[in-house]
Amino acid sequence: MRYCVCAIGLLLVAAFAFGADVDGKWTGSIAGMDGNNMTLGFTFKADGSTLTGTNTGPDGKDIAIKDGKIDGNNISFSVTFDFGGQEMKIDYKGVVSADQIKLTFEMMGQPSDIVLKKAK
């Protein structure tokens, strides 16, 4: 019995060490400059401590995620896109839980948040 309890305890610790499952498609919305909500989509793939994937913007184009990292339930990555002829980079940081990812980012000097839900 003692060994069984120890084994279950080790399995729980190992599960938390690897963090939440980020793989798959996630969506969320933020207020656009015109006040209307914009839907953003992300597709993530974890490979150890490396995060890859794409960001789908309101125009439907996929942009590759760069510099993606995973540390437990924390993720970070950047997305670079063309904004009216200017290159714009957005750095994201977030926390993954079972049913959502809370991301923070800064765009044009303004900090913002977005909550992503796993797509079904």
Q: CA–CA separation, 75 vs 114, rounded Å?
A: 14
- Coil, helix or strand at residue 2: helix
The CATH number of 20-118 is which of 2.40.128.20, 3.90.550.10, 3.40.605.10, 3.60.150.10? 2.40.128.20
Residue 19 pLDDT level (bands cut at 50, 70, 90): low
Q: Which has more confidence, 110 or 105?
A: 105
State pTM to two decimals: 0.78
Q: CA–CA separation, 52 vs 118, rounded Å?
A: 16
End-to-end CA distance of the chain: 40
The pLDDT of residue 23 is above 50 = yes
- Coil, helix or strand at residue 16: helix
**Tell me, what amino acid is at 120?**
K
Domain ranges of the chain: 20-118
